[in-house]
């Protein structure tokens, strides 16, 4: 089916030319974009279906590069403790999860992401107790129509072996690698516009062994397009742990186990120094900025501005639903912009009569740069050259937001920047791989009411166990 999106008030393509057009149209044929341009030309092309997007802004779908979807079963818990305490408190609850819980939490997470403009998401599932499988999340993504990079996470170093997680939450390393290979052979798809790809993702330096990191890297590199993902430099306690256990900083540890390269991206990377930022740029290693989680957990401020300037690819991630408590990609873009603007740029004297505190700068990150991280940056982190922009040949991942609503009133001078600086709002329409998954604000492939009921029932079951 050829679908023609017509009368678009403002089209932002995020292509190489950063094209923005008023009074525009986009033509979708099957899973891909055929044309995008002025209404006077593209709008006259033949189509089987036309969708009038008067008063709408249209852009490529957003790309979420770090998440822990299962955590929406433990939202707003451990509100005021540091990360290691937060983890130790939640590990025993997560140890009760089963495959049914993984499935219903994935439904809620994907629905929330899609409503906020996300069309491609990665999910880092690193705790797989009882009968939990990564397959459950992949099946949910297929049913709901989400483009999905499923990250087979793992923890193998429990407390008895000097790690942070309890032994009840870890797996045998041979089992981890065997399951990872099974998932690659069953689901990993390197065809153009592929909907499912597999990522190998041992959790963190304090929850796995160096051997697992090396073996996972070797396994991934035997299969084209299988990328590597983990956490790094998220908290100062991690740096202390790496110094005590490995005699080096966390980035040095990553380098020692073969985890730097253009097939690797890390979440957080808050505590990188100048030399480590340069090393990321030199090796092509990428990073995900998760500003809401960084603020919620009081972790610090990622040096995203310096990383971008050095040539590091930076994407955005909502992070876990218990460390962020929401899964809204436009909100994440907003937080990214604002947090970079208050990042300490210079120290202002706190001497008597002087100005105390730290100073930021309003030029640290623009709205368009934040959205570029959420589109082109995310696509590059995931190794995709077919998403993140609206252009002929790209996958038809397209979102439309109605500008005629309260949170966007008065934004006609720059509606694209308004998507970051204003709101709140939800998308009116969303197409993923040419399939409309949201139509006039309603899901077309998911019963939200039933999903919410199932989620409540699952929470009662898990907490009563």
* Cis amide leading into 424 (omega within 30): yes
Q: Summarize pLDDT for 429-451 with one digit per residue, the tens.
A: 999 999 999 999 999 999 999 99
Q: Find all residues with CB under 8 Å of 16, minimum gap 6, and list them.
A: 389
Structural tokens at position 124: 């880092």
The pLDDT, as a whole number, for residue 305 is: 95
Lowest mean pLDDT across 165-169, 253-257, 303-307: 165-169
Q: Summarize pLDDT for 104-122 with one digit per residue, the tens.
A: 999 999 999 999 999 999 9
Chain mean pLDDT for the chain: 93
Q: Residue 139 burial (CB < 10 Å; 0-12/13-18/19+)?
A: middle
Structural tokens at position 154: 């793992």
CA angle 383, 387, 392 (to 5 degrees): 130
Distance CA 114, CA 311 (A): 30
Q: Summarize pLDDT for 368-408 with one digit per residue, the tens.
A: 999 999 999 999 999 999 999 999 999 999 999 999 999 99
Structural tokens at position 83: 């990360």
Contact 35, 15 (CB under 8 A): no
pLDDT over threshold 70, residue 291: yes
Distance CA 428, CA 403 (A): 10
Question: Torsions phi, psi of 308, nearest 5?
Answer: -60, -45
The pLDDT, as a whole number, for residue 179 is: 97
Q: State percent of the chain over pLDDT 70.
A: 96
| 376: DSSP letter | I
Distance CA 52, CA 41 (A): 16
Give the model's confidence band at 355: pLDDT under 50 very low, under 70 low, under 90 confident, else very high.
low
Distance CA 102, CA 133 (A): 8
Report the relative pairing of strands 358-359 and 264-268 from DSSP bridges.
unpaired
Query: Dmax over Cα atoms in the chain, in whole Å?
Result: 72
Lowest mean pLDDT across 30-39, 68-77, 282-291, 409-418: 68-77
Mean pLDDT of 307-334: 94
Structural tokens at position 82: 């540091």
Mean pLDDT of 320-337: 92
Q: Find all residues with CB under 8 Å of 193, minimum gap 6, and list them.
A: 31, 32, 386, 395, 433
Contact 95, 463 (CB under 8 A): no
Q: Give me the domains of the chain, ranges plus CATH numbers.
A: 2-61+387-443 (2.30.40.10), 62-381 (3.20.20.140)
pLDDT over threshold 70, residue 346: no
Distance CA 346, CA 359 (A): 6
Contact 211, 194 (CB under 8 A): no
Q: Find all residues with CB under 8 Å of 282, minimum gap 6, and list them.
A: none
Question: Torsions phi, psi of 37, nearest 5?
Answer: 175, -160
Report the relative pairing of strands 286-289 and 118-125 from DSSP bridges.
unpaired
User: Residue 442's beta-bridge partner residues?
Assistant: 439
pLDDT over threshold 50, residue 56: yes
User: Whole-model pTM?
Assistant: 0.95
* Burial annotation 413-428 (CB, 10 A radius, 16+ → b, else e): eebbbbbbebbebbbb
Contact 165, 208 (CB under 8 A): no
């Amino acid at each position: 089916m050829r679908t023609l999106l017509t009368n678009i008030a403002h089209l932002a393509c995020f292509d190489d030319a950063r094209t923005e057009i008023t009074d525009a149209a986009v033509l979708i044929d099957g899973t891909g974009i055929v044309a995008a341009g002025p209404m006077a030309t593209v709008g006259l092309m033949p189509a089987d279906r036309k969708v009038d997007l008067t008063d709408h802004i249209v852009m490529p779908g957003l790309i979420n590069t770090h998440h822990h979807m299962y955590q929406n079963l433990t939202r707003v818990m451990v509100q005021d403790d540091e990360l290691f305490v937060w983890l130790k408190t939640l590990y025993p609850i997560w140890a009760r999860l089963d495959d049914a819980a993984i499935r219903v939490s994935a439904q809620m997470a994907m629905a929330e992401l899609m409503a906020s403009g996300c069309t491609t998401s990665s999910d880092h599932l690193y705790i797989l107790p009882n009968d939990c499988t990564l397959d459950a999340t992949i099946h949910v993504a297929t049913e709901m129509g989400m483009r999905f990079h499923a990250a087979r996470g793992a923890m193998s170093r429990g407390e008895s072996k000097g790690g942070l997680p309890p032994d009840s939450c870890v797996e045998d390393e041979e089992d981890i690698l065997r399951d990872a290979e099974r998932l690659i052979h069953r689901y990993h798809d390197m065809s153009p516009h592929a909907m499912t790809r597999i990522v190998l993702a041992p959790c963190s330096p304090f929850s796995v062994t160096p051997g697992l990191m090396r073996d996972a890297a070797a396994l991934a590199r035997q299969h084209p397009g299988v990328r590597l993902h983990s956490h790094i430099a998220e908290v100062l306690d991690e740096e202390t742990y790496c110094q005590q256990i490995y005699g080096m900083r966390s980035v040095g540890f990553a380098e020692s186990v073969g985890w730097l390269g253009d097939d690797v991206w890390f979440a957080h990377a808050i505590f990188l120094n100048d030399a480590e930022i340069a090393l990321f740029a030199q090796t092509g290693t990428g990073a995900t900025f998760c500003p809401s989680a960084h603020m919620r957990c009081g972790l610090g401020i990622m040096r995203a501005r310096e990383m971008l300037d050095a040539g590091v690819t930076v994407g955005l991630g909502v992070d876990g639903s218990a460390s962020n408590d929401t899964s809204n990609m436009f909100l994440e873009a907003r937080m990214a912009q604002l947090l970079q603007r208050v990042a300490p740029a210079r120290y202002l004297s706190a001497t008597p009569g002087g100005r105390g505190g730290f100073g930021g700068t309003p030029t640290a990150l623009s709205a368009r740069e934040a959205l570029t991280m959420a589109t082109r940056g995310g696509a590059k982190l995931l190794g995709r050259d077919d998403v993140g922009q609206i252009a002929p040949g790209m996958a038809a991942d397209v979102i439309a937001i109605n500008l005629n609503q309260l949170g966007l009133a008065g934004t006609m001078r720059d509606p694209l920047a308004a998507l970051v600086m204003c709101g709140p709002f939800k998308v009116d329409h969303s197409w993923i791989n040419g399939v409309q998954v949201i139509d006039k604000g309603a899901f077309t492939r998911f019963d939200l009411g039933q999903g919410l009921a199932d989620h409540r029932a699952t929470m009662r079951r898990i907490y009563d166990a």
